[in-house]
Each structure stands twice: as structure tokens, then as C-alpha cells.
Amino acid sequence: MIHTGRHFLQIPGPTNVPDRVLRAIDQPVIDHRGPEFAELGLAILSGLGEVFQTKGHVIVYPSSGTGAIEASLVNTLSAGDRVIIFETGQFSNIWRQIGERLGLEVDYVPGSWRQGASPHELEARLSSDSRQAVKAVVVVHNETSTGVTSRIPELRRIMNRLRHPALLIVDAVSSLGSIEYRMDEWEVDVTVCGSQKGLMVPPGLGFNAISEKALSANKNAKLPRSYWDWQDMLKHNQAGFFPFTPATNLLFGLREAMKMMKEEGFANIFRRHIRHGEATRAAVRAWGLEIVCEEPLEYSHSMTGVFTPEGHDADRLRKIILENFDMSLGAGLGKLAGKAFRIGHLGSFNDLMLAGTLSGVEMGLRLAGIPHNEGGVMAALDSLTPAAQVREPAKVAR
């Protein structure tokens, strides 16, 4: 089928890259050991502090988010170290797999994939750890496979109350730049991220933001590392350079994306994502479908996971929507495969893009013959422009 107009990329990342960022990337490659690059490197490395809300170092790898996960572990831990990882969904599964492959002793706290990391479970585990054998607690802030956001400050408060010295390592791949995140205030030790979601840059950059405590842990961490080594990076970063060839043109894009974020203002970015999350859930409820996240305090502002009714394949719905309306939605991952689909509403996004996205879902539900109520899109429009904001229609002159 020939499609006209723009493809709707409404997966929860990679997200739509703004034209300004694409234009910034579309430049001749420069010498990564020359003065122009040093300027770029220094501007990015200092500017990232505001994005992560940290005064600490932020390391940028030419890598995917998964690479940045590995980097966070090999730089802070040693073989046999005990690590608590909360099962929140498919991405926490990846953390577990990487941790186990590296030889860590992973205590994988079971979860339903419908709620975030349990403060209660953390308290139980850490309070019974009298020998302080647990060296790190890992939490996926926004679980992209489900649309559930864990409450990091609450988890940190428990660690502090128990005076437990474990590192707090947080995956902010699908929250940073779209859901409020305060690394220093929340006392996170390592934040892991990727470029392709809230940061509005194509895939290919991985991040580790590092606290002083993580930097100390790095001195004693014995897991083998070479490419991922923080010390090599930090040494070269001082002058704006990298120990190997960086992803120069993605860094051009990141610089522009950071400029855009500053122009909009982080508070406005977070408010925009909250509005779009609320409007999306209003649509899902009006359709009579079930939201994957069970805990309203943990609704994700960057994406929404939606169950299709029993006996109706979510992948068939996605296929129908792709073929008919040229829109990509996120597949159900892992144990949610075929049972749920995911609507991404993060990154470079606005009200009309959301209205189009939800229209595509509603038309897809009709074509797929999935039982639902009409009016989801209207419910979303009402949420975006509540009645109080809508003026009485003007009298039409005869």
C-alpha cells in the first residue's frame, strides 16, 4: 500500500526526531581530535548536568541503552556481588540477564508487570541484610514494556532510613527528558539512559550519570572492563574529547535537542507529558479497554500500555493500524506479547499528534472488530481542552 504524508512513529522510542535535530545532524563530520570538537564535547558534557539534574559527571558512549546498562554494572561492581533488581517488566529482565552474565548474584524481586518496584519489598530485603552484602539496588524508573513508573524518591528514603550503603542504580531510558527526574536530589548513584526517547535524538548514544559515591565504588570494582571504563572517559572528557571515535553527528543532534529542551523549559516539558498521559488514559477508559498499569500513582507520563480484550490479538491490531494508517505502535513485549500494545506519547510531540495517534487506534479498533465503546478520541480531546476552557460558540449573524 502506498502511504502519503508522514509516518506516525508512536512506539515508546525511538521517538520522532525534530527537524531541527535532523538538520543539526546533517553536517560534515569534523575531526574528533580538533578544537571544534572539543568545544562541542565540553558544551554537551556540561549541559547534560541540567538534563539529569546532577552536578556529577555524565558519560556519553556511542552505544545503545543496553551498552550503558553494562557500563553501569562493570564500573561499580565485582564478580559475586549481590544486587537487588526489581522485576517490573521486560527491561528489568534485561538488567537481570546482563547482571547474571557478568557473574553478579542477582536477587530478582518478583513483580506482576503491572506495578512498580515495591518499597515494602525493598524494606524487607534490606532490613534483613545485616551484613550489608547487597552492593546495589537496580530500578527501571519507567518500565517501557508496561507503562509503569517506579517511585524512586520513596525507594531512596527507605535505603537512607535503614542506613544501607548499597548503590542506587536507575534506568531512566524512557523517562529522562519526559518524566521529572532529579538525580542528585533523589541520591541516585548511577543513571543509565539512551538518546532515542525523551532526548529526541536518534538511537546510538548511551549515558551513565555518576555520583561521587559511584565514583568511589569504581575504584574498587573488579569486573573486567575496557571500552566501558569510566576512568578513561573522564580523563579524556576533561578537555572535551573521548578515548575513541565518538558519534560526532549524533552529538551535533544532542546539542540541538538540549537547546530545544532549554527553550521549552523542563517544567513545561514534564507538564506536557503529564497532559498527554492523562488524555491517552481518558481515551483508553472511554474505549472500555484496560490500562496495564494498575497503580494510578505509577501511571507513566511517557507511554501507555493497553490490554486488548481476551481472545483479541494485540499484534493483529497493530498490523491493521500500520497497514491502514501508517502508524507504528509498540508491541507487547515478553509475557505481554499479543496481549497488549503500547502507545508512545513522549519526546517531540504535541496535542494534534496525540489526537492523530488516538484516532488511528480508534479506527484500528473498528477495523479489527475489537469490542470497544466509541468516543475515546473525544474523551481525549475533552481532557486536553476541558469544558471550562472552551468558549461558548459565537452567535452566527443572520
Ligand X SMILES: Cc1ncc(COP(=O)(O)O)c(C=O)c1O
Which parts of this chain interact with ligand X (CB under 6 A)? Answer: 13, 64-66, 91, 140, 144, 171, 173-174, 194, 203
Nearest approach, Cβ of residue 181 and ligand X (Å): 13
The set of cell numbers assigned to 136 is: 546495589
Q: Which CB, 208 or 383, lies closer to ligand X?
A: 208
Nearest approach, Cβ of residue 64 and ligand X (Å): 3
Q: How far apart are CA 366 and CA 361, in angstroms?
A: 9
Q: Which CB, 123 or 315, lies closer to ligand X?
A: 315
Q: Which CB, 102 or 379, lies closer to ligand X?
A: 102
Nearest approach, Cβ of residue 17 and ligand X (Å): 15
Nearest approach, Cβ of residue 25 and ligand X (Å): 18
Q: Which CB, 141 or 276, lies closer to ligand X?
A: 141
Place of cell 494510578: 296
Task: For residue 100, give the 3-state DSSP assignment.
Answer: helix
| Alpha helix (H) residue ranges in the chain | 19-25, 35-52, 65-74, 90-101, 119-127, 152-161, 212-220, 230-237, 248-264, 266-287, 314-325, 351-368, 376-384
Q: How far apart are CA 360 and CA 355, in angstroms?
A: 9
Q: How far apart are CA 249 and CA 30, in angstroms?
A: 9
What does the chain come to in residues? 398
Nearest approach, Cβ of residue 339 and ligand X (Å): 19
Nearest approach, Cβ of residue 315 and ligand X (Å): 18
The set of cell numbers assigned to 206 is: 548511551
Q: How far apart are CA 346 and CA 91, in angstroms?
A: 18
Task: For residue 306, give the 3-state DSSP assignment.
Answer: strand
Q: Residue with the closest Cβ to ligand X?
A: 65
Give, rounded to a whole angstrom, the gap between the first and last alpha carbons of the chain: 47
Q: Which CB, 176 or 361, lies closer to ligand X?
A: 176
- CB-based contact 183:166 (threshold 8 Å): no
Nearest approach, Cβ of residue 12 and ligand X (Å): 7
Q: How far apart are CA 63 and CA 191, in angstroms?
A: 15
**Sign of torsion, CA 243 247 251 257?**
negative
Q: Which CB, 13 or 116, lies closer to ligand X?
A: 13
Q: Which CB, 126 or 251, lies closer to ligand X?
A: 251
Nearest approach, Cβ of residue 94 and ligand X (Å): 6
Q: How far apart are CA 220 and CA 126, in angstroms?
A: 22
Q: Which CB, 193 or 381, lies closer to ligand X?
A: 193
Q: How far apart are CA 64 and CA 210, in angstroms?
A: 18
